[in-house]
Amino acid sequence: MSRVILAALIVACVATAIGVVYARHSQRLMFVELSRLERARDELNIEFGRLQLEQATVAESNRIDQIARLRLGMRFPEAGDVALVRP
């Protein structure tokens, strides 16, 4: 009888040890994944900041005016070029 109990306790102890090893292994894998995702998040935050700065630079009115004049040949209309339309 006591040998059966002892065998059951040994089996339970081994099963618990295997469970602990499995849990630690899973925890390590999840930590590696978390670290990878945090690095990706940081890289995306850096890219987002760079894109915001680029958008602010491109959207400046002086730059838009310069591009309109140089690339598109646009200019402000002269007084004689403006026609008023009344209903």
- Per-residue pLDDT tens digits for 10-67: 999 999 999 999 999 999 999 999 999 999 999 999 999 999 998 888 778 888 888 8
Name the amino acid, one letter, at 16.
Answer: T
User: Taking the CB of residue 68, how many other CB atoms lie within 10 A of it?
Assistant: 13
Tabulate helix, strand, coil % of the chain (nearest 5): 80, 0, 20
Question: What proportion of the chain, given as a percentage, has pLDDT over 70?
Answer: 100
DSSP code of residue 72: T
**Which two tokens mark 81?**
């070029």
Q: Where are the chain's structural domains?
A: 2-74
Q: Tell me the C-alpha distance between 58 and 67, whole Å.
A: 10
How confident is the model at residue 67, as a pLDDT? 84
DSSP code of residue 71: T
Of 73 and 11, more confident: 11
How confident is the model at residue 72, as a pLDDT? 87
- Per-residue pLDDT tens digits for 38-50: 999 999 999 999 9
Q: Tell me the C-alpha distance between 36 and 38, whole Å.
A: 5
- The structure's pTM equals 0.58
